[in-house]
Chains A and B, each alone.
Chain A
Amino acid sequence: MSLPEPAKEVLEKARDGDPGAFDSLVGTYYRLVFNFAWRMTFNRDDAAEIVQEVFLRLFRNFQKFNPEGRFGPWFMRLAVNVCINERRSRMRKAIPSLSGEEDACGPDTNLPQAGESLDRTESREIVLRAVEDLKPSYRAIVMLRYLKDLSYDEIAAILGLPEGTVKNRLFRAREVLRAKLERIGISR
């Protein structure tokens, strides 16, 4: 799968400040950005705030987009960096929970639950908890991989990293998740 790419005319008009063209861009991307922001926060309210921030930054920085390049990866990089900065900011503020209770950064209760065995549910909780502990830049790579089943080279284009670096970080992050899952022994 790859990212959607708007028509050149829409991009040119949006760059020139045409509200209708900007609305069209919002329509193309806001669900995708919301989905990614939620994967970075596991919180719908926070994700909605991030989406607004991302589009506000697009609005303010549209002139920095090079029309010769692809808009999708450029815009998603903007979204990724807003999410990473937001995530880092929240991690600095977060106080580690010793009681094991749900804290503000934990997964919200909107995760799909129906039709799953207890083991599978527990596995999911362990994995998602482990995702919370990943570095934001690693979490971003993992979540991009599962966002729209993006390929390694598409993720590399978004992040401006070599494809090998993307694979390396993705594998390391998933290895961390696997190790945590195995340590608790749920999956065995």
Chain B
Amino acid sequence: MKRDCPDSNAIQEYLDSAPGSLEAADIEKHAAACPECGARLESLRAVHSVLGGIDPGPPPAELRAAILSAAAAARPAAPSWARIWAAAALIAASSVLFILMFPGVSGIAEPAGGGSAVSRAFGLLESAGDGIQSGLESIGGLFPDPRRLDLDVAGAVPFDTGALAAVLAVLLVVASGVNVAAFRKTRSAAASIRRSGDMPYEGDVK
């Protein structure tokens, strides 16, 4: 390469730029007179032509549908009413069970004359009702103006301990069943998404 020959970068800029400029005319004139630069220009033109000429053709016909299907599978399921009620039941049942097992730490005042475990449990139901209410409020505006769940412990207690335990058991089984079913559904959807490795996608390309 002689001193007045354009460097490879200049030739490449010439190939990338619109034809007809003054610099382009200079390069063409030089390449016509200089065999070395002429050969270089021809080689770069061949590369340019190959890379500009390749084309994969249209994408597979089913590709768009497959993309949308994969995105739909990845979409998180909206909370269903069954799940909301199951969660509420689980909270209530757990709270009552807790007070039955640990009456000393509940902080609920016992009625005059002592009070049974059942009356303490209903006392806790009142506080659990408040907890459920605040939980429902946090679910995202589903209950903009919820009625308070007032559970009155005054008066006669209509259930005995056995009946209460049975209700608790049913609540726990239902809530667990709903949540296990939801978990299986989520796991199944996740398994259907192929190639879910967690690769970075931001940052510089080094």
Contact = CB atoms under 8 A, between A and B. Distances in A.
Contact of B50 (A38, A78, A123): A123
B205 A159 contact: yes
B33 interface: no
Interface string B5-31: 000110011001000000000000000
Contacts of B57: 110
Question: A112, A124, A145: which has the most chain B beta carbons within 10 Å?
Answer: A124
A137 B205 CA distance: 6
Contacts of B55: 35, 112
Contact of B52 (A23, A35, A51, A146): A146
A53 B195 contact: yes
A56 B74 contact: yes
A34 B56 contact: yes
Q: How big is the A interface, by class? A: 35 or more
Could you tell me the dominant secondary structure of chain B's interface residues? helix
Given A34-B63, A49-B195, A160 B54 contact: no
Given A30-B64, A182-B39, A82 B199 contact: yes
Contacts of B64: 26-27, 30
Interface of A: 17, 19, 22-23, 26-27, 30-31, 34-35, 38-39, 44, 47-49, 51-53, 55-57, 59-61, 64, 77-78, 80-82, 84-85, 110-112, 123-124, 127-128, 131, 137, 140, 142-143, 145-146, 149, 152, 159-161, 167, 170-171, 174-175, 177-178, 181-182, 187-188
